[in-house]
Structure 1
Amino acid sequence: MLTFRDATPADVDTLVGLIESAYRGDSSRGGWTTEADLLHGQRTDPEGVRAVLAAPASRMLVAERAGEVVACCQLEDRGEVGYFGMFAVRPGRQGDGLGRAVLAEAERIARGWGARELHMTVIVQRAELIAYYQRRGYRRTGELTPFPYGDARFGVPQREDLAFELLVKPL
């Protein structure tokens, strides 16, 4: 059974490990969400996760199965808009519905805040990930934000054309 809870400061190291394993390095190749061919270096760090936990309108949602942290995401209350980010599912568990369940719970929470839409940004080169979100009702906006080149907190880009696209779902 999958259970959800808010992350606490005691979860920081576990969450950093989970997020890193889902997106970067060889371990990320065990799932389909890897960014290892686009970016090297870190995806997040303890300070980044602590900042999410400390922000008054933000929270980290943790999904557990049999006492093991198997997925997480960031949610931020921006009034009529909710923001969804730092989404990670343990690579060996990807493809068995955990991501869909976490996304549905995040949408439920955002609706409870009174959000009319849920927003997220995805690297435009991640066509399979964008398609995943489109199948779940998110639409591409064409609104692009440049990748923060030169800021090692977000990784070391392996190409020069990276950008984020805003995806939006009405709630």
Structure 2
Amino acid sequence: MTSPGSCTVRTARSGDVDALVDLVESAYRGERSRAGWTHEADLLGGQRADADMVGAAVRQPDGTVLVAEDGTGIVACCHLERRDDHVYFGMFAVSPGRQGGGLGRALLAEAERFAREEWGAGEMRMTVITQRDDLIAWYERRGYTRTGELTPFPYGDERFGVPRRPDLAFETLTRKLG
């Protein structure tokens, strides 16, 4: 796939893990993330991902990590996981300097195409922190529907971050791929 900025998309390899961790962290946590609009820095501190988590996603037999790269390296990624009756979409990150230019939209479309054509999936699901109204609205403009299905944030498990507020939860969003 060619996407904005002449990126190409491929499947991640084990040698990409460190670059992927850096990308995910830069898109969501800390001061670097504030250069983009998708950050969670006001909601969560600590880490968003680590090498063990990302490495497991890259090696997962029922999943794949797609990466978009340009001449500078990996600039976007997402994780797809085959589940019973759908594909779960997660670990979506776009380099803060590349956000807002269509790269995320193009990678999401490629992930949907991959799930539909390579795996025969009829539905994509994801979870988004309920307080991320801007991000939820972005997904809704791309055909995703809020389900009202909430999952509590894993408070006390710092692998997923250190909450800055007590009311965090995830909502499932879904989209038919047919």
For 2:51 and 2:129, how far apart are their aligned partners in 1? 22
Deviations 1:71-125 (A, max 9, x none): 0000011243011000000001100000000000000001021111100000000
1:28 counterpart residue number:
33
Tell me whether 1:55 sits opposite 2:60 in the alignment: yes
2:17 counterpart residue number:
12
RMSD of aligned Cα (Å): 0.8
Q: Which runs of 5+ in 2 are unaligned?
A: 1-5
Q: Which runs of 5+ in 1 are unaligned?
A: none
1:89 counterpart residue number:
94
For 1:54 and 1:130, how far apart are their aligned partners in 2? 29
Work out which of the residue numbers 88, 109, 115 in structure 2 matches 1:110. Answer: 115
1:127 counterpart residue number:
133
TM-score, with structure 2 as normaliser: 0.94
User: What amino acid does structure 2 have at the position aligned with 1:108?
Assistant: R
Other structure's SS at 1:44 match: coil
Q: Where has structure 1 moved over 6 Å in runs of 4 or more?
A: none
For 1:12 and 1:69, how far apart are their aligned partners in 2? 11
2:173 counterpart residue number:
167
User: Judging changes above 3 Å, is the alpha-carbon distance between structure 1 residues 86 and 71 closer, same or farther for their aligned structure 2 residues?
Assistant: same
In the alignment, is the contact (CA less than 8 A) between 2:67 and 2:76 conserved in 1? yes
Alignment length, in residue pairs?
Answer: 171
For 1:133 and 1:42, how far apart are their aligned partners in 2? 24
1:153 counterpart residue number:
159
TM-score, with structure 1 as normaliser: 0.98
For 2:84 and 2:171, how far apart are their aligned partners in 1? 21
